[in-house]
Amino acid sequence: MTADGLQLAVVVANTVTLVVGGFVTLLAVRAYRRTGSRSLRSLSAGLGCITGGTLLGGLLHQSELASLLVGVTVHSASIALGFLLLAWSLFGPDAAFEPQLTTPKDEQ
């Protein structure tokens, strides 16, 4: 594949990531607003960070404001931060929730 072909593939992949990631982030934000769950807030922030980093990294490179390496670094750093936030959403603020497992005998 030529360099132009690879650049096109990167642009297409990042565009799909931006569109789908933006939609999933929107759904997570709506769920957070509906429930007020801190975990959903962290999930929304993590997804937004990943999606926003994709946009920012691509814009930096495509606008020639920065080199490809800077764009990839911004993109990679935002993905790392986004995944940290996603992990926090799974183990962090609402992790103290422990479902009560009861059997009919326990209820009597």
- Asked, for residue 50, whether it belongs to a domain, the answer is yes
pLDDT at site 52: 94
Q: Total domain count for the chain?
A: 1
Q: pLDDT at residue 100 above 90? A: no
pLDDT band per the 50, 70, 90 thresholds, residue 93: low
12, 7, 17: which is closest to 52 by C-alpha?
Answer: 17
pLDDT tens-digit map of 31-79: 999 988 889 999 999 999 999 999 998 888 888 888 889 988 999 999 9
- Asked, for residue 99, whether it belongs to a domain, the answer is no
CA distance 37 to 49: 18
Does residue 14 contact residue 60 with C-beta atoms inside 8 Å?
Answer: no
> Tokens standing for 105?
């005998």
- DSSP class of residue 66 equals S
3-state SS, residue 82:
helix
This prediction's pTM? 0.78
Q: Provide the domain limits for residue 11.
A: 3-92
- Asked, for residue 21, whether it belongs to a domain, the answer is yes
> Tokens standing for 56?
């920012």
- Asked, for residue 108, whether it belongs to a domain, the answer is no
- Asked, for residue 76, whether it belongs to a domain, the answer is yes
Q: pLDDT at residue 97 above 60? A: no
pLDDT tens-digit map of 6-29: 888 988 998 999 999 999 999 999
